[in-house]
Amino acid sequence: MEEIAYAKINLALHVRAREPDGYHRIETLFAFAEDGDRLGAEAGDAITLQATGPFAAQLGGSDDNLVLKAARALQSRYGISSGAALILDKRLPVASGIGGGSADAAAALRLLVRLWDLPAEEDVLLDIAGTLGADVPACLRSELATGSGRGDRLTQEDGTQLSGLPLLLVNPGVPLSTATVFAGWDRTDRGALAEGPPLHRALRGRNDLEAPARAAVPEIDHVLALLASCDGVLLSRLSGSGATCFALFEKLEQRDAAWARVAAARPHWWQLPSRLR
């Protein structure tokens, strides 16, 4: 059995306040790529995880991996003794603003419900997801949604307008700590997400973490400048806390031309051509 851990895109991310507990109150428009990490599983006596793929070496200790935490939490919630041999094909860079770890954890929940033949109780799965991280509930559904609070209060949106739009993800190859970027936010509330259709809201929006991310990783300036100069770009922006940036295009050939142009200009940068789900 296999699940795709779809790459998460923040089409807009507005930071509204820093709460007394240290967390930030945000408003964000979540979207997801058609591609991402891949997680496979087969029956096993215990829960184990093997990591492969181009970014496997960047993963931390196995006990801290969100895939294992998700599997153990699901096992505990349903009181089962079944194990699983999990294989994570790590295709997305770590600490890159596109929800790699959160998407992997969400994929583990979806996958193990099938492997262990558990009831697909969304309220239970969302509750487990919320204990694993603020982005995991959104990644569990991997559908267009508005997130508020810490990003875990979700309102599903009509994704018809955006589904299938050509997408290019670009990362300059520099890991970026989410905590560091949030700490650099200037604590200025610049207002709420706009009302209206999703693309309008995205275009009228912003990413309030872009300034501190750029300060921490100046290479982001070059990524955004190059993407913005490509033909057919509807929207280009930093995703999450970075350092991955994205561009949405009108046509596939325009995305592919941008992909080739970025590869020629900066061959060491990571890229993922995809489409929005």
pLDDT at 37 over 80: yes
Average pLDDT of the chain to the nearest whole number: 96
Catalytic residue among 8, 37, 89, 90: 8
Percent of the chain with pLDDT over 70: 99
Read off the CATH number of the domain in which 259 is found: 3.30.70.890
Of 110, 89, 109, nearest in space to 100 by CA: 89
In whole angstroms, what is the distance from residue 135 CA to residue 265 CA?
33
Catalytic residue among 37, 104, 135, 208: 135
pLDDT of res. 58: 87
pLDDT of res. 64: 75
Tally of structural domains, the chain:
2
pLDDT band at 193 (very low <50, low <70, confident <90, very high): very high
Contact 26, 148 (CB under 8 A): yes
Confirm whether 90 is a catalytic residue. Answer: no
Whole-angstrom CA distances from 165 to 127, 159, 170, 234 are: 31, 11, 16, 10
pLDDT at 261 over 80: yes
Residue range 64-119, pLDDT digits in tens: 799 999 999 999 999 999 999 999 999 999 999 999 999 999 999 999 999 999 99
In whole angstroms, what is the distance from residue 113 CA to residue 77 CA?
12
Of 167, 162, 118, 108, nearest in space to 140 by CA: 108
The domain in which residue 145 lies consists of 2-156
Of 36, 7, 9, nearest in space to 247 by CA: 9
In whole angstroms, what is the distance from residue 95 CA to residue 238 CA?
13
Lowest mean pLDDT across 55-59, 167-171, 206-210: 55-59
Same-domain status, 123 and 178: no
Is 69 within the bounds of a domain? Answer: yes
Q: What does pTM read for this prediction? A: 0.96
What crossing angle do the helices spanning 100-115 and 66-78 adopt, rounded to 10°? 40
Task: Give the end of a domain, one of 129, 156, 183.
Answer: 156
pLDDT at 135 over 70: yes
Is 161 within the bounds of a domain? Answer: no
Confirm whether 8 is a catalytic residue. Answer: yes
Is 84 within the bounds of a domain? Answer: yes
pLDDT of res. 61: 64
DSSP codes joined into one string, 8-40: EEEEEEEEEEE-TTS-EEEEEEEEEEEEEEEEE
Q: What is the DSSP letter of 162?
A: T
